[in-house]
Structures are given as structure tokens and as C-alpha cells.
Amino acid sequence: MLKILKYSFFDLMRSSWSYVYFAFYLLLGIVLLFLNNDLSKAVITLMNVIIVLVPLIGTVFGVMYYYNSKEFTELLLAQPLKRSSIFLGQYLGVAISLSMSLILGLGLPFIAYGLFKSSAIWDFSLLLITGVFLTFIFCALAFNIALSNENKIKGFGYAILMWLFLAIIYDGLFLMSLILFEDYPLDKLSLVGTMLNPIDLSRTLILLKLDISALLGYTGAVFKQFFGTSFGLIISFLMLSIWVILPVLRIVFKSRKKDF
């Protein structure tokens, strides 16, 4: 598996898309810092970008990479190799190279700006951690979709639809259900709703450290307990890990049974 991981990783590192991705974040980081001049505000703006763009790029890259390397995958399948190690190796190769572009692209300008001397370092590391989680989650979801669909166009379509659903439509439905059931106690429902969507989950996680804390307690005891203590942080990270593990398990099972 490690060999395939290494191969995929270096293959992607050589491809120009990784550099474009890296350059994009580098530029974003530099522009934000020098227009804003305020590290903690830059972190907030960055959050908006990360929770939308990272999933999108993870999805598109994942699907693209799977379909592009399909012939090579079929060649590998002819070798005496375990199927799970082939697909997991490819998946990890994509996810790790994307995460590296993200961390380096954003990290370099912030370090140059003086991150280590700033109090925003925890907010910033949280931002990067959730960014990495999102990359892993959406790459895995994209691999799942690609594995289930032989048709490239269909696969791409589903992948984009999944991103659209989780990034925007889900929140719309969520909000509508909250308004519809406003006569009932909603605090637990809304927390569960947040947990079920990795994008919402990461957003909440970052907001916990940023401005939701000022609104803390406004909405009642359950929220106060969840947002006010490290309990919320632990649960959120646990859920994010589950969001990584479940799709990865499905990759393993699906690839074992799939005909090529």
C-alpha cells in the first residue's frame, strides 16, 4: 500500500494541478493578510473560503484522479496485490497531497506574517486541522461515487451534486425544518443536524473558537453545555473522524466486490 501511496503522491506532486492549488492558497493567504492587516480577522475570512472551497476541490480532484488513473489501476489489479491496498493507497495519495498544498499554501504566508507570535495561532491551527479533515472526507466520498459509477459524466455529476447538497442545500432544508418546527424544543435537533453534515460541523467547530462564543448561552442550556465546554470540541472531532472512517470503509468493501 505504501508503495502505491508513494507513487500516487509523487504523481500528483508532479502534476500542475497541485501547484495551481498550492499557488491559489498562497495567493489567498498573502492577499488576506496584507489587505486585512489583522490576523484574527483573516482567520474568519479564511474560514468562509475553507468550508466552501476545500470540499469542492477535494471532490473534484478525487473523482478526476480516480477516472484518470483507471487504466493504471486496472494494470495494478492484474498484479498480486490486495485490492484494498491499491485503492486506499490511491485515496491517501490524493488526500495527503491536497492537504499538503493546503497547509503549505496557507501556512507559509501566515508564518511569514508572524503567526507564532500571535494569539491567533490556535484558531489558525484549528482551521488547518478542519481543512485537512474536510479534504480527507470529501476525497473519500468522491472515491465512493467514482467507484459506484462507471460513467464519468454521471460520476462527476453526482460528485458536484453531493458537494452542492452538503454545502448549500442541506442548510436550506435544515433552516426550513427549524422554522417549521419552531413550536417544539429544537436545541437537540439542531445539534444533531449540525453533526450530520461535515461542512456544518467544521463551520461550528471554527465558530466555537471565534464569534459564536459571544452568542453563547443565547439559545438555552443544551447549547451552552455543548458550545461552552470542551465537550463540544471533543464530540465534533469524534464526528469528523467518523465521517472519514465510514466512507473509507466503504471504499474497502466496494473495491473488494467490484468487477473490472
Report which secondary-structure segment, H or E, holds 149. Answer: none
Q: Which is nearer to other proteins, 11 or 200 (CB)?
A: 200
CB of 218 to other proteins, least distance (A): 5
Cell, residue 219: 439559545
Residue whose cell numbers read 500571535 = 118
- Nearest 5 degrees, angle CA 124-CA 134-CA 72? 130
- Do residues 63 and 141 touch, judged by C-beta distance below 8 A? no
CB of 32 to other proteins, least distance (A): 15
| Binding footprint of other proteins on the chain (CB under 8 A) | 41, 44, 47-48, 51-52, 167-169, 171-172, 174-175, 178-179, 182, 186-187, 189-191, 193-194, 199-200, 203-204, 207, 211-220, 223-224
Residue whose cell numbers read 489558525 = 124
Rg of the chain, C-alpha, whole Å: 20
CB of 80 to other proteins, least distance (A): 47
CB of 179 to other proteins, least distance (A): 6
CB of 146 to other proteins, least distance (A): 25
Q: Which is nearer to other proteins, 15 or 40 (CB)?
A: 40
Instruction: Return the percent helix, strand and coil in the chain, to nearest 5.
Output: 85, 0, 15
CB of 171 to other proteins, least distance (A): 4
Q: Which is nearer to other proteins, 182 or 259 (CB)?
A: 182
- Do residues 240 and 206 touch, judged by C-beta distance below 8 A? no
Burial of 224: CB neighbours in 10 Å, binned 0-12, 13-18, 19+: middle
CB of 34 to other proteins, least distance (A): 18
Cell, residue 138: 470529501
Q: Which is nearer to other proteins, 83 or 203 (CB)?
A: 203
Three-class DSSP category at 24:
helix
Q: Which is nearer to other proteins, 183 or 259 (CB)?
A: 183
Three-class DSSP category at 38:
coil
Q: Which is nearer to other proteins, 94 or 167 (CB)?
A: 167
- Nearest 5 degrees, angle CA 33-CA 95-CA 85? 165
Q: Which is nearer to other proteins, 75 or 217 (CB)?
A: 217
- Do residues 29 and 108 touch, judged by C-beta distance below 8 A? yes
